[in-house]
Every structure is written in C-alpha cells, then in structure tokens.
Structure 1
Amino acid sequence: MKTVIVGGGLGGLSAAVSLAKEGVEVELFEKNDHFGGKMMPVDEGGYHFDFGPNTITMPHVFQNVMDEGRLPRSEQPVFHKLTNHTRNQWEDGTVFDLSTDRSYIKQQLQKLDPKAESTYDDFLKEAERLYDLSNRHFINRSFLSFKDYISLELAVNTMKVRPFQSMNSFFSKYFSHQGIVQSLNRYATYIGSSPYRCPATFAMIAHLELNDGVYYVKGGNTRIAAAFVKAARNQGAKLHSGTEVTRLLTSKNKITGVQLSNGEKIHADHVILNGDLLHTLPRLLNKKERRSLSDRSIERYDPSVSAFVIMAGLNTKISELHHHHVFFSSDYEKEFKELTHGQYSSDPTVYICTSSKSDAEVSPRGDNCFILVNAPPVQSSSIEKEAYKKVIYDKLHRNHIEIKKHVSFEKVIGPEDIESQFYSFKGALYGPSSNTKVQAFRRPYNQSQDYSNLYFCGGSTHPGGGSPMVVLSGQNVAHHLIGKRLSME
C-alpha cells in the first residue's frame, strides 16, 4: 500500500512517521523549502526566530512521534519548562504573570483579585476536567463522516464541556479583575478565535499552561520539525521539499495519484492532504470533482484570525522584556469587534516572544523579538505595513519598551504573505475559527465525502488548530489507515 502525503507540516510529518513505522510505503511532497509548515525557522542577520509556534504545550505529543520514529532521546530536542512563563502588562503599569507555581499566582491574586485567590484551585480543577473530557472523547479520534457524530456517549460528554458558555463568561465566573480575565481570554487566540464567541470548552488551555506547563526547545522550537523529519526518514518515508503537488488524479470515487509541478505523476493507494483544506483542495480539484466542498460552502466558513508579524533583531538586550510578554489593549472586546469586521485594531494587543531570554545562543548579538498582533483575514484591501508597524512601536513606547531605536534587523509578514506562503485560507492561522458551535465542534471531516481514499489532517480539520492538535490529527488519520490496512490483510 502506498500513501502520498501532500504537505510537510507537523500533521503530514507525524502521519508519515506512524505509517512508515507499520511498513506502509510513504512519499511526502512539500512545496516550501522547509518542512514543518508554519513551524518555520527564520535565520537572518545573525538572529534566529521561530515563526511559529512560540508557545509549546503537551510535549508528550511530540515526543511520542519521535519515539515512533526510533529517534533516541539523546537526539531529540529537549523541552525546557518555563515556570513563570508569560508576563501580561497594561499601560497603567499593572502586570500579572502566568505561572505553574500556584503560590506565586495566589500572591498576585491577593493584591489584584483577593476573592479569586480562594477559588483558584477550583478554577484549575474545572479547567483540568474540561481537558480530560476533551482528551478522552474528542481529541484522540478521527471524524470521517457525520456517522461518527451519532453517538449518545459523544453527545452526553459534549454537553459536559460547556458548549453554550463563552470563554469570557467562564473566566469571569472565577475572576473579577478585568486584566486577569483579559490575560486568560487570550487563550482564544491560540485557536484564532474571539473569547466572547468561542465556547468555554477551550478554557482547557488554562489547564495545559497553568497545570502542565509551557515549554521551550533549546535552539528553537523549530527543532521539533527537524526531529520529525529525521524520525520519518528513519522509518523509510521519502520526503521531498521544494516540490509542489498541483493536481489530484481521480477515477470515479477514488484518487489514483498526484501530479507534480514538473508534470510527473505519482501513483497512490491513499492520499493524505496536510494543508489548509479550504484553500488547498480547490487548487487540486476542479469544482465538479469536489461536490461536498463547493466554492459556496467554503465561503460560508468563518476564518480564524491572521497575524501581522514583525521579526526585530536588536543591537541590545532589553531587561524589561520576558520570554513571553503581552501588552494588552485598553478595550479587548472592541479589538475583537474590529477584527470581526475585517479591520486592524486601532489599539492592538501586542505579543512579543524573545526566546533569547531563555536561550542566549539563538541570538548572541541582542534580543530576537518576534512581535505578533492579531490581524483580520485577507480582505479586498490591505493595510500599509509601515503605518501599522508605527502603531505597534508607538504602543510599545507607551509601555516603556524602546524597540524601534535598537532594530538592526527587521522583517515584516502580513496576512497576504501567510496566505501565499502557506496556502492558508484568507491568511487564517488556524483554518476555520471556533467562533460558532458548528465550527468549534464539527470541523471539516478527516475523510473526503467524495473520494473514499482521500484523507485530511492539519489545523483546518479535526481536532483543530494548535501544534499538538495538528500532530494528533496526522496520527489519528494514520492510525485509521493502519487499522484499515491490517483488516485487509
């Protein structure tokens, strides 16, 4: 059995490892020169940046793939836990640090939100319950068709994860200080959504960050993707970078193979599409060949937020900056309303990852500031980059962070760049948003409804966005195919 994987993001790579381990012939094609998708290294001007993700949780998910690929632990990237991992800051000088150290969190709550100190343990228990339910009944399985949703057990447990409560409402139940609520509401952006619209189910992210922990890989998080490549090749998978698939070849209700940009045709018994389904499938199949995913149905999807990114290499180190540092807007709800209406926020929340704070070797000359602001999906008109860059630098100046005058290297990436480089639907970072219950709980299936041997993995399909979920999506599909193969033997 030969499986062709289109796209070398984390989902495609993890699927390649699991399939090749079981003796499946695997060939993977990636259009970019690097593997890992948005987990892209940027090494320029003497600075290293992880384009994404900057925050790592659930390290066991990544380690499981590397173990499957027979990569010795001594050769695997080391995950370092950051105890006090994220500083949240406001222009009035208030700061609140997220941490796995409960006593430290409670010390801060004594000053900022005394009532919340007494209920903080209850809050963490509930966040853990949401995670445990999701992990047992939703995350570690494929959804191949509507039939997979017809389950009394699934329905009962879906109702237990607060599907009708918003994330903002959930956090507001435990905390009265709006800054603290704001800092927790930011978890919605991890799945490209609004905390005022997405279900409280995703408050389980609080468990991952505040109980389990936030991690960083020495040398850069992008070393995870490099390790996945080694693991896949260890098991015999053939990986091709800089090689674009331009067409899926069909015969009745089957995919027979793929065609490359040079015209070469590759036979396949199964094809896994690892990429943004809403953008990539229309590039590979014409309208008549994808009846279940028409242009009209694609346009109905609400895309997740995109990003406006500045990678700034500094000629100095700014002591006030932390590894993960967030400078919040004065009106978080207004910011999301602006994004929903396709507008760049006039007062954006600015996230800065300066990994050199934990790993000086990645940026010996000065701080490597990866600056990210939520941006609307690609619209008919785009913002002038220099003008919006000034908005960001001015905001940092008001927070006494002087970056602009110390920049020795700078690279700006906007939603249009994300759309073109990663074939991302309207430049969205995480595929469809989770701003509606349908999109939150019923993402596009992991199997085509038109072709029985075409499968999907990645952030745009189940179980959703975020690097651990993307990895699991690839493994879920691979495990289904392995089971199918074994049943045929």
Structure 2
Amino acid sequence: MKTIIVGGGLGGLSAAIYLAKEGVDVHLYEKNEHFGGKMMPINQDGYHFDFGPNTITMPHVFKDVLSQAGLNPNEELPFLSIENHTRNQFTDGTTIDFSSNPSFMKEQLREIDPKAASHYDEFLQEVEKLYHLSNRYFLNRTFSSWKDYLSPPLARAMTKVRPLQSMDRFFKHYFNHPQMVQALNRYATYIGSSPYASPATFAMIAHLELSDGVYYVRGGNTKIADSFVKAAKKLGVHLHSSTEVEKLIVKRDRISGVKLSTGEKVEADRVIVNGDLLEALPALLTEEERPSFKDKKIRSVDPSTSAFVITAGLDTRLDSLNHHHVLFSSNYQEEFQTLRQGEYSFDPTIYISTSSKTDPDVSPKGDNCFILVNAPADQEHNAPSASAYRDLIYEKLYEAGLPLAAHVKNEQTITPGAIQHRFRAFHGAIYGPSSNSRVQAFRRPFNQSSDYKNLYFCGGSTHPGGGSPMVVLSGQNVADKILGKIRFVE
C-alpha cells in the first residue's frame, strides 16, 4: 500500500517513520529545501539560529520516533536539561527565574508571594493532573468525526481539565503576585492564544516546564528534524525536497494521488496532508471538492498569533542575557487586546532565545539572539514598517539594560507575511486556529477527511494542536489510525 505525505514538517516525518516501520511504501514531498517545517535552521555568517521551536519539552516524544528506526536516541539527540531556564524581566526591574527545581521556585516565591510559596506543591500537583488527563484522553488519539467526542470516558475527562476556566483565572487561584501570574500567563502564547480567553486546560504547559523540564539539543534544536530525516531514510522512506504538490487528484469518493508542480502525477492508496489545513486544503482541492471544508468555514476561524522575528548575531556575549529571556510589557492584558483587534502592540512583550548561553559552539563570534514578538495574523497592510518596529524593539531592550543593537553584526527580520509565504501558514498564524474559544481549543480540524476516507491530516492546525511535541504526536496518531492500532485507553 503506497502512502503519499504532502509536507515534510515534524508531523509528516513522524507519520512517515511510523508507517515505514510497518512496511508501508511512503513517499514524502516537501516544497522547501529543508525538512522539518518551522524547525528551520538559519545560518548567517557563523551564527546559527533555530527558527523554531526554541523551548523544547517532552523529549521522550522525539526519542520514541527515533527508536522506531532502531537508532539510539541518546546518541542522535543529546538533550541537555536547563534547570533554571527562563528569566522573566519586568518594566520595574523585577526578575523571576523559572526553574524545574521546586526549592528554587519556592525560595523566590517566599520573597514576593509567601502564600503561593506554601501552596506551590499543590499547584504543581494540579498542573500535573491536567497533563496526565490530557495525555491519556486527548493527546494520543485521532478525531475523525463528531462521534469521537461522545466517548463517556472522554466526556468525564473533559469535565476535569477546567475547560470553562481561563488560564489567567486558574493561575490567580494559586498566585497573588501579579508579575508571577503574568509570567505564567505567557504559556498561552505557546499555542498562539490569549491567557484571558484560552481554557485553563493548557496550564498543563506549566507542568512540562516547571516539573518535567526544559531541554535543548546540543548543536541546535534543528538537530531534531535532522535526526528524523535520518530515521526516515533508514526505513526506506522516499524523501523529495524542493518538490511541491500542486493538487490532490479526486476520483469519485477517494484521493487517487497527487499532481506535482512539474505536471507529474503520482498515484497513491492514501494521502496524508502535513501542513496548515486552512491554507493547504484550498490550495490542493477546489471548493466543490471539499464540501465539508468550505471557504466560509475557513473564513470563520480565528487564527492564532503570528510573530515578528529578528535574528541578531552579536559581536560579544552579554552577561545580562539568559538562554531564555522574556521582557514583559507594562500591561499584558492590553497587549493581548491589541493583538486580538488585529493590531501590533507598541509596548510588546519580547522573547529572546540565546542558545549560545548553553552551547557556545553554535555561535563562536558572539551571542546568537533570536528575538520574537507576538504579532497579529494577516495584518501586513496595517503593519508598521519592519525597520521601524525593529527599532522600537531594540529601544525597549536598551531601556531594560539589554543593549543588543550596539553589538549587532549580522541581522535579519522575518515578518508574518514571510512566515505565511515560507510555510504556507494561514494568514501567517504560527499555530493554525487559536485556542481563544472552547470550540477551537477542543474541536480542531479532524485528523481524517469527512469527504475522502483515504485522506488524513497531521500538523499543528489539526488535533492535538500546536507545538513540536504535539505535532510529532499528530503524525504518530495518524499512522496508528491507518495501521489499525488503537492507543487510546478507555
């Protein structure tokens, strides 16, 4: 049985590896030169940057994929644990360092939020429970129709993962200090959403970072994608880079194959689309060919946030920077209101990843600062000029004691429009649909087409959602669905 995969992101590579391990003939087509999707390396004059992701959690997910090909995960992916991993800096000069060491966290909380310090263990237990419920009932399964939501165990689990409570309200139950709440609320941006609107279910991210740990792969996180390519080749997957799929070929109630941009037609028994479905399906099928996924439905989707990115190679190493460093806006709620109105914030929260702090070899000339600011999706016509917004970001950093601009030797800016073009991301949104409503948070596009039973979907825009571990799981789940393996435990 021949399977074609459209798109070589982590989800597509994951699906390819799990299928090929079981003897499936897999052909994967990727329009870009590199495999890995947004996990793209940027190399500029001796400076290495990981476009994304910069924060790695759930390393076991990536290791499991490599094990399918008989590779040694510890050799292929030397994960380094970063205990005190994220510095949260505020406009008044206050800093809170996030750590997977609970004693270190409680020591900080005793100074700023004594009540929270005494309840910190209780908080960790609650977010761990959210994670385990999600992992058991949501993350390791596919959704193919509305009937999949009618499972009694799933319904019971839904009532326990706080779907009606916002992340902000959840965190305020355990923490009084506003800056601690603000730092935790940033986890909503990991799914491109607002902490004041997205369900508290996603507070499970706090478990991953504050208990399970934050990791980095020596040599750059893009080594994850490289290792997946190695595993796929070892299992005989046919990988085609710089090869774009132009159309899906419909034959009655099935997809019979694909048409490449070269005009070549390739037959298949089944097809998996690994990409942003909101952008990919309209490009691959006419509206008449996708009755369950009409343009009106696509237009009704609230996209996640996009990003304005600066990659800045410095001529020095700044002691004031941490590997993960966040400079918060003065009014976080107002920032998200501005983004949801489709406008850029002129007091943005700025995230800086400087992997040279952990791994100097990736940037021997000086620090490699990957600077990311949340930006609204599809607002290029209403956006400030890239140079003006870059200057605003540097000025805000300078005022906070981070004089990056004075040391920049190599630089590139990447706008939401560039993200949309490069990755075929819907309006430049990084995570597909936002999770700013319960419907979009829990009912993402299905993993199997309602129109063609041999057409499947994986990636951040479908279930279980955005973020590199979730994307990898989506590919694995779709492969299991095709292979008839049931991993969901009732």
TM-score by length of 1: 0.98
Q: Is the 8 A contact 2:47 2:313 kept in 1?
A: yes
In the TM superposition, residue 74 of structure 1 has moved relative to its aligned partner by 5.6
- CA gap of 1:15–1:178, structure 2 versus 1, over 3 A, is same
Q: Is the 8 A contact 1:56 1:215 kept in 2?
A: yes
Residue 56 of structure 1 corresponds to 56
| Map 1:389-404 → 2, pairs under 5 A | 389-404=390-405
- 2:142 partner SS: coil
1:458 aligns with 2:436: no
- 1:447 partner SS: coil
| Map 1:367-378 → 2, pairs under 5 A | 367-378=367-378
Q: Deviations over 1:222-274 (max 9, x none)?
A: 00000000101111110111000000000111000001110011111000000
- CA gap of 1:126–1:271, structure 2 versus 1, over 3 A, is same
In the TM superposition, residue 152 of structure 1 has moved relative to its aligned partner by 1.5
Unaligned runs of 5+ in 2: none
**Cα distance in 2, alignment partners of residues 335 and 293 from structure 1:** 32
The percentage of counterpart residues that share the same residue type is 62
| Map 1:284-303 → 2, pairs under 5 A | 284-303=284-303
Residue 232 of structure 2 corresponds to 232
**Cα distance in 1, alignment partners of residues 285 and 74 from structure 2:** 43
Letter in 1 for 2:3: T
Q: Is the 8 A contact 1:170 1:200 kept in 2?
A: yes
| Map 1:270-349 → 2, pairs under 5 A | 270-349=270-349
**Cα distance in 1, alignment partners of residues 293 and 410 from structure 2:** 43
Q: Is the 8 A contact 2:459 2:466 kept in 1?
A: yes
In the TM superposition, residue 70 of structure 1 has moved relative to its aligned partner by 1.6
User: Which 10-residue stretch deviates more, 374-383 or 457-466?
Assistant: 374-383
Q: Is the 8 A contact 1:339 1:375 kept in 2?
A: yes
User: Which 10-residue stretch deviates more, 70-79 or 25-34?
Assistant: 70-79
- 2:413 partner SS: strand
In the TM superposition, residue 390 of structure 1 has moved relative to its aligned partner by 1.1
Letter in 1 for 2:353: C
Residue 160 of structure 1 corresponds to 160
In the TM superposition, residue 85 of structure 1 has moved relative to its aligned partner by 0.3
Letter in 2 for 1:456: F
**Cα distance in 2, alignment partners of residues 220 and 377 from structure 1:** 27
- 1:342 partner SS: coil
Give 4+ residue runs of structure 1 displaced > 6 Å after superposition.
Answer: none
* CA-based RMSD: 1.0
In the TM superposition, residue 382 of structure 1 has moved relative to its aligned partner by 2.9
Letter in 2 for 1:135: N
In the TM superposition, residue 92 of structure 1 has moved relative to its aligned partner by 1.1
Q: Is the 8 A contact 2:249 2:256 kept in 1?
A: yes
TM-score by length of 2: 0.98
| Map 1:166-205 → 2, pairs under 5 A | 166-205=166-205
Residue 410 of structure 2 corresponds to 409
**Cα distance in 2, alignment partners of residues 382 and 226 from structure 1:** 35
Residue 150 of structure 2 corresponds to 150
Residue 441 of structure 1 corresponds to 442
**Cα distance in 1, alignment partners of residues 469 and 70 from structure 2:** 20
Residue 66 of structure 2 corresponds to 66
**Cα distance in 1, alignment partners of residues 438 and 101 from structure 2:** 33
**Cα distance in 2, alignment partners of residues 69 and 172 from structure 1:** 45
**Cα distance in 2, alignment partners of residues 179 and 484 from structure 1:** 45
How many residues matched?
485
- 1:373 partner SS: strand
Q: Is the 8 A contact 1:71 1:230 kept in 2?
A: no
Residue 11 of structure 1 corresponds to 11
- CA gap of 1:392–1:69, structure 2 versus 1, over 3 A, is same
- 1:3 partner SS: strand
In the TM superposition, residue 383 of structure 1 has moved relative to its aligned partner by 2.4
Letter in 2 for 1:114: P
In the TM superposition, residue 91 of structure 1 has moved relative to its aligned partner by 1.9
Letter in 1 for 2:463: H
Q: Is the 8 A contact 1:326 1:352 kept in 2?
A: yes
User: Which 10-residue stretch deviates more, 3-12 or 75-84?
Assistant: 75-84
Residue 80 of structure 1 corresponds to 80
In the TM superposition, residue 484 of structure 1 has moved relative to its aligned partner by 7.6
